[in-house]
Amino acid sequence: MEIYLSISDQIIPNELIPRFHSLEWLMGYVLFIAFITLAIARFARAGIYQTLVLANGKFLGVVSFVREMMPISKPSSLLLLLNYVLSAGAICYLYVQSNDKIHLRNDALVFIVPIALLVWNLACFLLTRWLSGVSGIFAGPITLKIIGVQFLGLVYFLCAVLWLFISGQGIMFAQLALFLFFAETGFRVVKSILLVLKLGVSWYYIILYLCTLEILPLSMIYFTLVKSFD
């Protein structure tokens, strides 16, 4: 019997040996939940995806547009935020699994990454509002951030599905996800600057905010991830 088992181990390829913690199954469940989330959001508010695209193209009047067409506190918008967490978390998990340099004790930690990034930006806005004593001008940048990650969640969902079914292209998809993140961030920052300039905010405060709370953290993230690609 032992001889048979030893021969079987040598003959049967590793790819054919059942794995109880299969990457494909785990991410399949996560992306299935994300798909159900997107479907419920579409059912809760018809045309929400077209509205989301239009909202991301605006900067003047974006607050009133979002408040009227897709209020952030409504279930449909909250479901889009949930999809962002699931899809971005799936991207992070796939990247960790494809990179031998990164090891996590708990795979669920990857879902903290998108939450932390969102909370960080919102906390920076609130901190800046408290330090400056001006509150009215931050409704626009906060709204732009939320609808930005909602749109990014849709793109990440498609990216994660393709990544799951196209094996051997982990680096390409990881670089694509990183590019999309910085593209969305850059687009949002430009719109936010134009928006607050229209409201009469001084360039001094804008540069101070960008250097300390936007550019520095993003630079650290970029160089950390670039090193892991090597």
Report pLDDT for 85. Answer: 95
Q: What is the DSSP string of 24-44?
A: HHHHHHHHHHHHHHHHHHHHH
pLDDT in tens, the chain (230 residues): 444 344 444 444 444 444 434 556 778 899 999 999 999 999 998 899 999 999 998 878 888 999 999 998 899 999 999 999 999 999 988 888 877 666 667 677 888 989 988 888 888 888 777 776 666 778 888 899 999 999 999 999 999 999 888 877 777 888 899 899 989 988 988 888 888 788 777 777 777 677 766 666 666 666 666 565 55
18 contact partners, CB below 8 Å, separation of at least 6: none
Specify the 3-state DSSP secondary structure of 45. coil
Euclidean distance between CA atoms 45 and 74, whole angstroms: 9
Euclidean distance between CA atoms 156 and 158, whole angstroms: 5
106: phi then psi, degrees, rounded to nearest 5: -135, 120
Angle at 132 between CA 129 and CA 133, to 5 degrees: 75
